[in-house]
Amino acid sequence: MPDFMFEYEAIAEGLGPVCGVDEAGRGPWAGPVVAGAAILDPATLPDSLRQGLDDSKKLKPEKRQTLFELLKVHAITGLGIASVEEIDALNILAATMLAMSRAVEALSVKPGMALIDGNRLPELPCPGEALVKGDGRSLSIAAASIVAKVSRDRIMAELAEEYPAYGWDHNAGYGTKKHQQGLADFGVTEHHRRSFAPIRKILER
């Protein structure tokens, strides 16, 4: 389970406040990549959040939604988005780094330290540390993962209302059978990532 070890270390070094940063949506065939940033106060964080926060992928959707609403009250959060056009122009890794930078910039408080999920750092306005599998190690990153995941799922659910054939409200743009059938029946939309091999192959036919 994630804890505050890395946050406490940074604060002890005079680098507070500390924000966690994580992304959602690197793998899907459609939709933007979204990053979340979160600053938690270890001294005031409610037990309901402290005990519930975890890697968003390990949580049921209902639990993520509940924690997301609590984070809006008990944390400082920021959201960063890189569009499909930016993904295709830059590549998914660079677009993910851009979304992460934007999430940190969107925070209403400038952090003194950023903990980034993964093995590399985006451009940051402060010192940063990359933590592999950080969403299972740092409570701040776990919070950021929930912000990113819930926000992106909501974006894809809205897009699904306009394009219901692809099942984006359930698959979030991943290449499920429902999504593949939608592509076979209705083709590629403006929200598909043309630089991704499955979509590129359809366009080349």
Bin 2: left if φ > 0, else alpha if -120 < ψ < 50, else beta: beta
> pLDDT tens across 3-15, in order?
999 999 999 999 9
What pLDDT score was predicted for residue 112?
A: 97
Place of tokens 């002890």: 12
What pLDDT score was predicted for residue 171?
A: 98
pTM: 0.96
Paired tokens of 59: 């949580």
Paired tokens of 34: 């979204």
CA distance 86 to 92: 8
pLDDT at 93 over 90: yes
Report percent pLDDT > 70 for the chain: 100
DSSP string for residues in 71-113: HHHHSEEEEEEE-HHHHHHH-HHHHHHHHHHHHHHT-SS--SE
Strand partners, 81: 34
pLDDT at 205 over 90: no
CA distance 128 to 109: 16
Read off the pLDDT of each residue in 88-108 and give the average, rounded to a whole number: 98
> pLDDT tens across 120-176, in order?
999 999 999 999 999 999 999 999 999 999 999 999 999 999 999 999 999 999 999
CA distance 75 to 147: 11
Please give the mean pLDDT across all residues of the chain.
Answer: 96
Strand order in the sheet with 128-131: 76-82, 33-39, 18-24, 113-117, 128-131
DSSP state of 65: H
